[in-house]
Amino acid sequence: MLQRLLLVTLASFLVLAATLTLLAQRVGQPAVVPMRPPLFLSESWKPLPTPADDHGAWPMTQAGVASPALELKLYGTSSREIQLVAGRGGSNVTPTNLWTGTTTSPSAVALRDRNNYVDLSVSLAKLKYVVRTSGFHQVRPVVKLANGNWLVGDRAIGPNGDFNDTDISLADLKWIALDISRVVAVGNWIEKPDLSKVDEVGFADLMPGSGHGPGGYVNVGRIEVYGKPVKR
DSSP code string of 141-186: EEEEETTS-EEEES--B---SS-EEEEEEGGG--EEEEETTTTEEE
C-alpha 74/C-alpha 88 separation (Å) is 24
Cβ contact 142:157 at 8 Å: no
Report domain extents, the chain.
39-231
Question: Residue 9: is its pLDDT beyond 90?
Answer: no
34 pLDDT band, cuts 50/70/90, is confident
Query: 31: buried, middle or exposed (CB in 10 Å: 19+, 13-18, 0-12)?
Result: exposed
Cβ contact 205:110 at 8 Å: no
Question: Residue 169: is its pLDDT beyond 90?
Answer: yes
C-alpha 207/C-alpha 216 separation (Å) is 8
Cβ atoms < 10 Å from Cβ of 228: 17
What pLDDT sits at residue 14? 43
Per-residue pLDDT tens for 102-124?
999 999 999 999 999 999 999 99
Could you please report the per-residue DSSP string of 55-123?
Answer: TSEEE--GGG-S-TTEEEEEESTTGGG-EEE--BS-TTTB-SEEE-TT-SS-EEEEEEESSEEEE--ST
Cβ atoms < 10 Å from Cβ of 57: 21
10 pLDDT band, cuts 50/70/90, is very low
Cβ contact 202:153 at 8 Å: no
Instruction: Please name the helix (run of DSSP H) or strand (run of DSSP E) that holds residue 224, with its range, or none.
Output: strand 216-226
What pLDDT sits at residue 13? 43
Annotation: CATH topology of 39-231: Jelly Rolls (2.60.120)
Question: Residue 26: is its pLDDT beyond 60?
Answer: no
Instruction: Please name the helix (run of DSSP H) or strand (run of DSSP E) that holds residue 42, with its range, or none.
Output: strand 39-43
Among 219, 90, 110, residue whose Cα is nearest residue 157: 219
Among 214, 200, 201, 209, residue whose Cα is nearest residue 99: 209
Per-residue pLDDT tens for 144-168?
999 999 999 999 999 999 999 999 9
Per-residue pLDDT tens for 36-88?
999 999 999 999 999 999 999 999 999 999 999 999 999 999 999 999 999 99
Reported pTM: 0.85
Task: Please give the average per-residue pLDDT across 178-203, as a whole number.
Answer: 97
